[in-house]
Amino acid sequence: MAFKVDDDVPIPAPTWHSRREPKYPFATMKVGQSFFASGDKEVRRVSAAASRYAREHEGVAFTTRKIRGGIRCWRIRCKS
């Protein structure tokens, strides 16, 4: 099977990834603030998302605790 190679075909703009609102408020949280997410599925999702966000943003750290009905996530001060 041969493929036809085209010139001058513009790349479409991203559709969902770059225009989607963030699900969790990590970027707007100050040290000491927290949020609650309810549901068993959110427990793993919030923990993973907080960890990923902290890895990608130097000087940011979070801690999470599973509590009745879901999970609570706090922004904490980073150790120097």
Query: How deeply is 57 buried, as exposed, middle or buried, from its count of CB atoms within 10 A (0-12, 13-18, 19+)?
Result: exposed
Q: Is residue 17 part of a domain?
A: no
Q: Is residue 59 part of a domain?
A: yes
pLDDT given for residue 65 in this prediction:
96
One-letter identity of residue 18: S
Q: Is residue 20 part of a domain?
A: no
Overall domain count for the chain: 1
What are 8-24's pLDDT values in tens digits? 999 887 666 555 678 99
pTM: 0.73
Q: Is residue 56 part of a domain?
A: yes
Q: Which band of pLDDT confidence, cut at 50, 70 and 90, is reported for residue 77?
A: confident
Euclidean distance between CA atoms 54 and 57, whole angstroms: 5
The domain of 33 spans: 27-76
pLDDT given for residue 80 in this prediction:
56
CB 60 within 8 A of CB 53: yes
Q: Which of 42, 50, 40, 45 is nearest to 74 (CA)?
A: 50
